Amino acid sequence: MQSAKGLLSSWGGALSRGVTKQERALYIQNYLAKRFPHPGVPLDHEDPYTLLIAVLLSAQCTDVRVNKVTPILFARAKTPEAMAKVPVKEIEAIIRPCGLAPRKAKAISDLSRILVDQHGGQVPVDIEALEALPGVGHKTASVVMVQAFGVPAFPVDTHIHRLAQMWEFTDGKNVKKTEADLKKLFPEDIWHDIHIQIILYGREMCPARGCDGLRCELCQHCFPGRKRPKRALKA
């Protein structure tokens, strides 16, 4: 495989002969690493449990808003044992700005009780056990595995699903396939960083409302011959 440095220096020549998907992935990997060299976890947290709750709250809500709500929630309770004792209605009132408050509050209460009863009050380092918790889907479980425990995982949110299609890494059939396709393209040891880097790029450079495959820097650079807008399937 050509090195990232070599790819950058010979990109013009590569365009003339046609760039492979793997070469394009390597270029994007290098670009994102330079633009976002130290991508921190966007959600403020102290430990695996507070990260789990923050990720659950982030569904259909911005990280900025979640980061405003979680200090209030965690001041009330920041362990499974403490949270399990908080009335659901009280949790709901605190997290209301995050949206879907009744459903999220019940999930937070129920999963906290399960962690206490079945896992000794600890967040399990097991993706299947995480997915079995109320309100925790595959993406949330993957985020916890990679960001809290350093276990290789490639969480796919709406930004990643959309950009993976714009960069022609996947057909967008479903999120599960997008995840599998990206795992084949990028080395396992960078999954933690690159999934956050793609999210940051999507938010800053290629937001959903302006994303048509023609405007952002990476689309223009990687697909100079693209003339028509490209539409991405939703997750």
- Where in the chain is CATH 1.10.1670.10? 4-35+155-222
How far, in Å, CA of 167 to CA of 230, rounded? 10
Active site annotation includes 139:
yes
Helix, strand, coil tally for the chain in percent (to 5)? 65, 0, 35
For residue 209, the model assigns a pLDDT of 85
Catalytic pick among 44, 78, 104, 139: 139
- Where in the chain is CATH 1.10.340.30? 48-149
Per-residue model confidence as pLDDT tens digits over 23-78: 999 999 999 999 999 998 999 999 999 999 999 999 999 999 999 999 999 999 99
DSSP state of 232: P
pLDDT higher than 60, residue 116: yes
For residues 122, 43, 38, 165, the Cα torsion angle rounded to the nearest 10 degrees is: 100
Catalytic pick among 5, 34, 104, 157: 157
Instruction: Name which CATH class applies to 48-149.
Output: mainly alpha
Burial 6-29 (b: 16+ CB within 10 A, else e): ebeeeeeebeeeebeeebbbbbbb
CATH for 4-35+155-222, options being 1.10.10.60, 3.20.20.70, 1.10.420.10, 1.10.1670.10: 1.10.1670.10
Active site annotation includes 63:
no
